[in-house]
Amino acid sequence: MKNLIEVQNIKKNYGKKEAVKGISFNVEEDEILGLLGPNGSGKTTTIGMLLGLLKPTSGQIFINNLKLEENRIQILEMINFISPYIELPKKLTVKQNLYVYSKLYKVKNIKERIEYLSEKLRIGELLNSITGELSSGQKNRVSLAKALVNEPKVLLLDEPTASLDPEVGDFVRTFLEDYKKEKKISILLASHNMNEVTRLCKSVLMMKNGEIIDQGKPEDLITKHGRTNLEEVFLKLSRSKSEYN
């Protein structure tokens, strides 16, 4: 399988503080890779570097075989991002927001694309609603529609189901599974929901203090650490000091 994301020994320092300490990983086509770690472990910094919002202190990032540093615009055309910490303009209607972002991503057949996403994400009835007046579940689906408006090859998800009720959370997970299968895209998923990660991810990276301290398939990590589920593995690794620091 072709690697759509290749991260080679990237480091990020803020002054003397090392936020990311030389990590490397790949994400294949048609793969969801989980990025796990406690708060402050370097997940957001890593995603920021993949999005070109942060310049790595050293190391290289390739998206679809293109070096990010030299092909920023070309790469941004083929990736997208969703996070509960960023929002779409609140005063615009859902349709206006999707139209604006379709223009920014130079989407052809905008009408058809919005119709397709509206149907898939069940937001057809929300298109004329003011974005800021939506519930968090509705906003989440609209943000996901925006993130898919450019048919990305690579999707970066930062806690995509945080603060969602179980029904909407399950709908989003099922949608992501189906969409990945249909479009063969690569997804990097940062999440604190271990059930979600176990269900969606082929493999996971465990980060702590800016380093990858373990990686592998969820079931292999559970076996390796002698635990019954991924949450227990997460707790063991994040609380451990001597073994992994």
Give the nearest distance from C-beta 78 to other proteins in angstroms. Answer: 9
Q: Pick between residue 42 and residue 218 the one whose CB is nearest to other proteins.
A: 42
Give the nearest distance from C-beta 92 to other proteins in angstroms. Answer: 5
**Helix, coil or strand: residue 148:** helix
Cross-strand bridge partners of residue 66: 63
Joined tokens for residue 79: 């990736």
Q: Pick between residue 44 and residue 161 the one whose CB is nearest to other proteins.
A: 44
Distance (Å, rounded) from C-alpha 76 to C-alpha 79?
5
What secondary structure does DSSP assign to 44-100, as a single string? HHHHHHHTTSS--SEEEEEETTEETTT-HHHHHTTEEEE-TT----TTSBHHHHHHH
Q: Pick between residue 4 and residue 54 the one whose CB is nearest to other proteins.
A: 54
Distance (Å, rounded) from C-alpha 56 to C-alpha 224?
32
Give the nearest distance from C-beta 139 to other proteins in angstroms. Answer: 11
Q: Pick between residue 45 and residue 193 the one whose CB is nearest to other proteins.
A: 45
Side-by-side strand order, sheet with 17-28: 17-28, 3-14, 58-63, 66-67
Confirm if 10 and 46 have CB atoms less than 8 A apart.
yes
Distance (Å, rounded) from C-alpha 174 to C-alpha 180?
10
Give the nearest distance from C-beta 77 to other proteins in angstroms. Answer: 4
Reported residue count of the chain is 245
Q: Pick between residue 4 and residue 233 the one whose CB is nearest to other proteins.
A: 4
Q: Pick between residue 76 and residue 237 the one whose CB is nearest to other proteins.
A: 76
Give the nearest distance from C-beta 99 to other proteins in angstroms. Answer: 7
Which CA distances in Å does 179 have to 73, 108, 114, 173, 239? Answer: 24, 20, 15, 10, 35
Give the nearest distance from C-beta 45 to other proteins in angstroms. Answer: 7
Q: Pick between residue 142 and residue 222 the one whose CB is nearest to other proteins.
A: 142
Give the nearest distance from C-beta 83 to other proteins in angstroms. Answer: 7
Could you list the residues that contact other proteins (CB under 8 A)? 14, 44-45, 48, 51-55, 72-74, 76-77, 79-81, 83, 85-93, 96, 99-106, 146
